[in-house]
Amino acid sequence: MNRTLTSALALAALFGLAGCASTYQLTLMPRDSGKTYGGTMQGLASGQGPITVTIEGKTYSGTWVESAPASTTAWVGGGAYGYRGWGWGMGGGTVHMDTPGGGAAKALLTAPDGSGLRCDLRGTRSGGGGECRDDKGKEYDVQIRLAAEPK
């Protein structure tokens, strides 16, 4: 496959993914008790999306924004020349690599009363974790997992 066609197919795949969204389930646990709280976030291929967390009946809503990608795709050229049926040329292809430790994101959420929750999240397409802190300095550990598909 020539380089132009390969690049066009890679771009088409990328734009095809741009409309995909996944829902993630969040579980938060404060560092001073074993009580858990829940939330959801939308994983959009655009690197940002909505996030909602409910703690003690108070719902915080906001957005998360990717600060480091979980993976990257690049074109890599081959180092050898070879006969490809119509002439000599250089080979190559696209390579997809995951970031060690997963990607990172920052989430800023607010409640209707004006209080805030700030979260540092990291993970992969299937899930991850992180930490959140409220305005009073209370810290929460976070688990992120891909929500089950509705049946």
What CATH number is associated with residue 39?
2.40.128.120
pTM to 2 decimal places: 0.68
On whether the CB atoms of residues 147 and 25 are closer than 8 A, the answer is yes
Q: Does residue 5 belong to any structural domain of this protein?
A: no
pLDDT in tens, 38-64: 999 998 667 899 999 999 999 999 999
| 89 part of a folded domain | no
- Inside any domain, residue 78: no
Whether 38 maps to a domain, the answer reads yes
* Structure confidence at residue 103 (pLDDT): 84
Token pair for 124:
């992969």
Residue 55 domain-assigned?
yes
Domain extent at residue 151: 24-67+102-151
Q: How many domains does the chain have?
A: 1
75 within some domain: no
- Is 15 a member of any domain? no
